[in-house]
Amino acid sequence: MHSVLHKIFFSFLLVTAGFCAHAQIKFSANASPNVIGKDEYTQLTLTVENAHEAQIVPPSLRDFIILSGPSDMTSMSMVNGVTKSSRSLVFVIKPKATGVFTIPGAMAKADGGDYKSNSVTIKVQAKPTGSSPNTNQLSSPFGNMDPFEDVAPPRSTYNDYILRKGENPAEKIKKNMFVRLEVDKKSCYVGEPVVASYKLYTRLQSESNMTQNPSFNGFSVLDMTQPNDMSYRVEKFGGREYNVYTLRKVQLYPLLAGELELGVVEIENNVHFIKAEYANQRQDLISQMF
């Protein structure tokens, strides 16, 4: 058994924009998607626009299970000298039953005034719509994998889990497993969104655990990955294919100018190897793994 910790960081150079006129205050609610299956989920967003200060009181969600949230997000933009800003609370929710449910309007206090949002109607049907992942069918991609199973596993498999005589396990892990941070831009204005993705690239069999979530000091954060989403895709890097899992994907809104550093993510991996002399045998495989 071997463990490896991967640490990464990234910096941004941000440029401020001026502030001029402000638009009228608006308070709205939105659910996307608004038609889901009973085992699917939706994102509820409560947004106050164009207020210097805003406090949002969420509505009753008694017909739903809160999977995550509230996530607090702020943003701002300037078009033709008019500054528009917003603050949002974001929930990921799952229905408790089928039917048509109405989430009542939320309340907010913005710049000394009281505001109420629109209500939101969500239709929940028995069959899945495919508009969001089925949470009952999600499972971890890292553990409980048998490389010799007769039925092919639902991912690309590689023979890098075979440890040959003279090979160094730590070096093999370093070559076949790593974490990357990808961003869609390296400089932006204050309030301009930046998308950052932390990805695990692996060709090995492992059980993984995130021991440290990245911090985003100086940013307002909106999570873009759904809870328990362990889907993967096959990507090429350096001429080799890897199974790639998105550990965390966020939309960041910088709140101040300067160089801002994205936080470190740490992943602990329990990596399983099989000795080459046992690679073609199916008996007592578990006892031969270390």
Q: What is the pLDDT of residues 52-67, one digit of tens each?
A: 888 888 888 889 988 7
| CA atoms within a 13 Å half-sphere pointing along the CA-CB vector of 1 | 7
Long-range CB pairs of 228-234 (<8 Å, 24+ gap) are 228/135, 228/138, 229/133, 229/138, 230/138, 230/139, 230/140, 230/141, 231/133, 231/138, 231/141, 232/141, 232/155, 234/155, 234/156
For residues 138 and 36, give the distance between their C-alpha atoms in angstroms, rounded to a whole number.
17
pLDDT reading at 41 higher than 60: yes
Which pLDDT band, with edges at 50, 70 and 90, does 11 fall under?
Answer: very low
Cβ atoms of 35 and 123 within 8 Å: the answer is yes
pLDDT reading at 26 higher than 50: yes
Cβ atoms of 44 and 93 within 8 Å: the answer is yes
For every residue of 71-90, DSSP letters joined together read EEEEEEEEETTEEEEEEEEE
For residues 21 and 19, give the distance between their C-alpha atoms in angstroms, rounded to a whole number.
7
Q: What is the mean pLDDT of residues 109-127?
A: 90
The two beta strands, 54-57 and 266-272, are: unpaired
Percentage of the residues of the chain whose pLDDT score is greater than 70: 72
Number of helices followed by number of strands (H, E) in the chain: 2, 23
Q: What is the mean pLDDT of residues 80-98?
A: 79
pLDDT for residue 76? 60
How many other C-beta atoms lie within 10 A of the C-beta of residue 8? 15
| CA atoms within a 13 Å half-sphere pointing along the CA-CB vector of 286 | 4
Q: What is the mean pLDDT of residues 131-155?
A: 39
Cβ atoms of 222 and 90 within 8 Å: the answer is yes
Q: In the structure encoding, which two tokens stand for residue 242, read together? A: 């890897």
Which pLDDT band, with edges at 50, 70 and 90, does 4 fall under?
Answer: very low
Q: Of the ranges 131-135, 167-171, 183-187, 279-283, which is most confident? A: 183-187
| Angle at alpha carbon of residue 185, lines to 71 and 12, rounded to 5° | 75
For every residue of 22-55, DSSP letters joined together read E---EEEEEEESSEEETT--EEEEEEEES-SSEE
For residues 111 and 36, give the distance between their C-alpha atoms in angstroms, rounded to a whole number.
36
Q: How far apart are the first and last CA of the chain?
A: 5
For every residue of 127-144, DSSP letters joined together read S--SSS--GGG---SSSS
CA distances to 5, 35, 40, 137 from 133, in Å = 29, 13, 6, 8
pTM of the model: 0.47
pLDDT for residue 1? 38
Q: In the structure encoding, which two tokens stand for residue 150, read together? A: 């007769």
For residues 42 and 94, give the distance between their C-alpha atoms in angstroms, rounded to a whole number.
7
